[in-house]
Chain A
Amino acid sequence: DIVMTQTPLSSPVTLGQPASISCRSSQSLVHSDGNTHLSWLHQRPGQPPRLLIYKISDRAPGVPDRFSGSGAGTDFTLRISRVEAEDVGVYYCMQGKQFPLTFGGGTKVEIK
């Protein structure tokens, strides 16, 4: 199974300041189709998760451009250029390369 490891576990951030979350996979996420199936999701308290980024860096429809994804192989990063109040919650990375599909443990973003 591919293990997804996120850091940090918690990230206190200042409104208007940048934030970043790292995700590392235990093996390469490059699929035989040539794509790297690493996605990022955001979950606000009491709500279902929402897809932010897929295939490392493609933003899902309606996602603000302050969110960006980068990385390759086994190391990936989600960046928020300027944190807004609505960005609080838990962020998860997920690999879609192979079954069983696996998630990172989550990073909680809160405002200082």
Chain B
Amino acid sequence: QLVDSGGGLVQPGGSPRLSCETSGFAFSGHWMTWVRQAPGRGLEWVASISEDGSLKYYVDSVKGRFTISRDNAKDSLFLQMNSLRVEDTAVYYCVTGRQSFGVWGQGTLVAVSS
């Protein structure tokens, strides 16, 4: 089970931190990923992190602004979002895997607006 949290209404330039609490599987043995979906739009991959956190990949539009991280001792995934833009408005999903996405969180909405 994946439980996403940390979203809300944020001003442009804001810096929220998303969290994903996991349970029911061996978290430290899985790549983890964030996927987002803007209102009424399709799915967009945001970032992925390897099992031990040593490898991180980002979509170009968030490089240098977002940081994916994990705490294997607490079975948790994070997404630190900085310098938010209006176009970052979306539901953000925590997802297991990298080559396919087996389990999805319920999503947390980040709305960027002044």
Contact = CB atoms under 8 A, between A and B. Distances in A.
B100 A100 contact: no
Nearest to B60: A100
A50 B100 CA distance: 11
A48 B107 contact: yes
Contact of A103 (B45, B60, B93, B99): B45
B36 to A, nearest CB: 11
A51 B99 contact: no
A96 B100 contact: yes
Interface size class of A (residues with CB under 8 A): 20 to 34
Secondary structure type dominating chain B contacts: loop
Contact of A106 (B42, B99, B105): B42
A44 interface: no
Contact of B101 (A94, A100, A104): A94
Interface string B92-114: 01000111111111110000000
B107 A94 contact: no
A55 interface: yes
B44 A103 contact: yes
Interface of A: 31, 35, 37, 39, 41, 43, 48-51, 54-55, 60, 90, 92, 94, 96-97, 99-106
29 contacts: A37-B99, A39-B99, A48-B104, A48-B106, A48-B107, A49-B101, A50-B104, A51-B100, A51-B104, A54-B99, A54-B100, A90-B42, A92-B42, A94-B43, A94-B101, A96-B97, A96-B99, A96-B100, A99-B48, A99-B57, A100-B57, A100-B59, A100-B60, A102-B45, A103-B42, A103-B43, A103-B44, A103-B45, A106-B43
